[in-house]
Each structure stands twice: as C-alpha cells, then as structure tokens.
Chains A and B, each alone.
Chain A
Amino acid sequence: MLTATMSQIPPQPPTGPLPADDLAKLIERVATLRDREALAKLFDIFAPKLKAIMLRHGANSAMAEDLAQETLLVVWRKAHLYSAQRGAVSTWIFTIARNLRIDHLRRQSNRPYEDLEGVEIASDAPGGDRIVEENQIVDRVTLAIRTLSKEQQDVVRLSFIEDIPHSEIATRVGIPLGTVKSRLRLAYERLRPMLEDLQ
C-alpha cells in the first residue's frame, strides 16, 4: 500500500545546524582522552547523514553503512591529527568520506587528496576556539545554501552530495557545461561572505 521509495528505511527529517561547541568538545575528547562515548555521539550525528549520501552515490544499503562506519573509524584513528586547519568537524568528516568514496565507489586513487594533507599549511591559533569558530562558519554556510536559487542549490547538491561530475550534471539537467559552471560560480559568490568569514 505504500509507494516504493529509493531506500527501505525512510529518511529522517532534515536537521538544523549542529551545535558548534558540542562538536568541538566531542572531537577533542576523542583525540585527547580516546573517549569512546564521544565517538559514539559523533556516530549518532554523522553516520545517518553519511549513509544517506553514500546511498545517493549508488552504494547499496550494506555498503553505505560500511562506508559510514569506516569514516568514523578513520575519525577515531586520525582524531589527534585534526585541527581547525582541517576545517569544521563536519568539513573534516566530509573530506574523509569523500576520500573513502573515491577509493571504493569510483575505484580511483585518493592519493592526490591524502598527500595534500601532508602539506603544512601556515597555521594560526590551533586551539579549540578556532574549531568552534570553524563550526560556526559552516553552520552559516549550511543556512546560506538554503537561500540560494533553486537552480544554484541543485548544482551544488548534485556536485557535493550526489557526486556527479560537472559534465554529467550538464547532461542530466539539460544545460550546457558552461552553464553548470556559471551557476556554481554564482553560488560561490553568494556564499562568499560566509565562506571567507567576512561577516
């Protein structure tokens, strides 16, 4: 009697920004105290989101869960290497999941990304305050994405969430590749004050 959905498990309602302070504290507890409960909380927050995006990339349910699990396992292993330089907690987790996805789903090397992590970036104050600030920046970006035009939101989503190359977005949406790129540039311009923290 119910119509079939893409996944057997119904999606949960969208969540608002995650609490910036809490996330910073959780990651710090994992890094310094090897606190398993803190990791479990990060799991509760991020695993369902990671599973959702992996499903969109074409993974089946078991593989999507595995990749979500594996992402959190990398968080556990690398927490001591995390700093505000790696971005907000959600940004760092996004990049870990992206690299795993390139390895597993695209079957390509993620080394260009991994090797880049070794490049030392001029660092400002490394402490927890800076992480909270990064989290707040990303919260503002999350909200700002929702104020983009529908067209701009679509290309941002298709690219960042659905993992679709620009040329394929052009085919899917039925617009020239140049238009995909100009919509992304416009989206960037709109998000720029938040992305560059100019507020």
Chain B
Amino acid sequence: MITQHPDISTLMAFSAGTLDEPYALVISTHVAMCEACQEGVRRTDRIGGAALSGEAGVAMSDGARLRLLAALDADDAIVVKSPVEVSEMPVPLRRYLPYGLSSIRWRANGPGVATRDLPVSPGVKSRLMLLKVAAGRRVPEHSHGGQELTLILQGAYKDRFGIFATGDIADHDEDVEHQPIAEPGEDCICLVAVDAKLNFRSRLIRLLQPLFGM
C-alpha cells in the first residue's frame, strides 16, 4: 500500500515536461505503480491542455496545411500498441534496468551502503542512481544541494519524515537534512534522482566523499 506521494508541484513539473530525465523517470516509475498519482497526473495534464487551449496562436506559413496533408500520404504508418510484458519491474524503469534488480553490479560506498549509476541521455546534468542500504543500516546524515526524489523499489527505510516502503516516494527540497535507516529484514533499494552531489554532514564523510564519488 503506497502512502507517500510526490508533492503536487512536482507532479505539475512532470506534466509541464520541465523535469530533467532522472526526475521524470523516478516520477513515471512511481506513477506506473500508483493509481492515485495516475489520477493526479491526469489532473495536472489538464492544466497543460488548458494552457495550450488558451494560448494565442501564431499564424502558420502559407502552404503548411497542404504540406501536412501531403505528409499524410507519404506516411500511413499506424502506431500499433505494443503489448506490455509481464515483469516485476515497473514499465518506465525497464528500459534503464533491463536485467532487473538482481543483476546490478553494486559499488560499495561505505559500510552497508552501495550505489550504482544508471545511464541517462548525454548532456543531462542531474544524476540517476540506485542506492542500496543493508537491512538495519543507516545512511550517514546528509542534506541536498537540490531537489532529491527517492523511490523505494524494495524493502523500506525510516527517517524523521516517516516510514517509506516499496512504491513510496520521498520528495525532498534542497536543504532538507535526514538520516534514513533501512528497516530490518530486507535490504532497501531505492531509485534516486539528485541534481547535485549529496552533501554529508560529518566531516569524515565529507573527506571521503570524493573517494566514493557521492
């Protein structure tokens, strides 16, 4: 049962199309898992439809209409809906993680913590990564240089904002500090979009930061 959803302003940015690819992917993966946010995005998309509908137009050049009709002749490609295969991985994430969670080559990032970067389009400044926290272990306290979106793919963690379990999303503004602790029983795996390096508070960890590439 999903209980933690993105902020409405984040869903609005998703509908507007202004989120960087890592954030858009985290949101679309959550939406694929969350009926409430499927309805939420249908609503925020309506703002886009209304904005387009209310827009004053700029005249198209002469002949544009004819060119479109000519293009229809050249192209009678009808898009066929491709069947969605059954898989445990939510649809939008499959393209980024085709072999599932079990095949990930993790990179150790300190005791009980491992990460893995996922490839995004060239030129994208923000970062898409998987974060694994061993059951019962804590992530060092940190704050963010920018917005951080975290989607729980497996297990659960707890911090001062509550318990986040599979399908839940944590939508944190910059300057939020928190110290997640993985719940016992199962490793917690999260899909994370960050637009700056995580900023660890402890001086020791700050010193180690460049080594770990976090």
Tell me the A residues contacting B by CB distance below 8 Å.
7, 9-15, 17-18, 36, 39-40, 43-44, 46-53, 55, 61, 64-65, 68-69, 72-73, 76-78, 80-81, 85, 87-88, 90-95, 97-99, 101-102, 107-109, 111-113, 115-116, 118-122, 137-139, 141-142, 144-146, 156-157, 159-161, 163-167, 177-178, 180-182, 184-185, 188, 191, 195-196
Q: Once bound together, how far apart are the Cα atoms of A49 and B48, in whole Å?
A: 12
Q: Once bound together, how far apart are the Cα atoms of A9 and B60, in whole Å?
A: 9
Q: Are B58 and A181 in contact (CB under 8 A)?
A: no
Give chain A residues whose Cβ lies under 8 Å from the Cβ of B52.
46, 49-50, 53, 90, 93-94, 97, 161
Closest to B20 in A: A108
Tell yes or no: B19 within 8 A of A by CB. Answer: yes
- The 12 listed contacts between A and B (C-beta, < 8 Å) are A7-B58, A15-B54, A40-B65, A69-B64, A73-B71, A90-B53, A120-B84, A142-B51, A160-B51, A166-B9, A167-B146, A180-B9
- Interface contacts (Cβ under 8 Å), in number, total 245
Tell yes or no: B68 within 8 A of A by CB. Answer: yes
Q: Once bound together, how far apart are the Cα atoms of A76 and B8, in whole Å?
A: 32
Give chain A residues whose Cβ lies under 8 Å from the Cβ of B87.
none
Give chain A residues whose Cβ lies under 8 Å from the Cβ of B19.
165
Q: Assuming A52-B58, A160-B12, what are 13 further A-B pairs, CB within 8 angstroms? A: A9-B59, A14-B56, A47-B68, A69-B71, A87-B49, A93-B52, A102-B17, A108-B20, A109-B21, A112-B25, A115-B92, A116-B32, A157-B51
Give chain B residues whose Cβ lies under 8 Å from the Cβ of A73.
68, 71-72, 75
Contact size class for B? 35 or more
Q: Which of A55, A77, A91, A182 contacts B48 (CB 8 A)?
A: A91
A116 in contact with B20 given A12-B56, A53-B55, A185-B8 (CB within 8 Å): no
Give chain A residues whose Cβ lies under 8 Å from the Cβ of B24.
108, 112-113
Q: Are A52 and B57 in contact (CB under 8 A)?
A: yes
Q: Once bound together, how far apart are the Cα atoms of A109 and B24, in whole Å?
A: 10
Q: Are A47 and B28 in contact (CB under 8 A)?
A: no
Classify the interface of chain B: helix, strand, loop or mixed: helix
Q: Are B47 and A77 in contact (CB under 8 A)?
A: no
Q: Are A137 and B46 in contact (CB under 8 A)?
A: yes
Q: Once bound together, how far apart are the Cα atoms of A55 and B60, in whole Å?
A: 12
Give chain B residues whose Cβ lies under 8 Å from the Cβ of A76.
72, 75
Interface-located stretch among B37-45, B109-117, B155-163: B37-45
How far is the CB of A146 from the nearest CB of chain B, in Å? 7
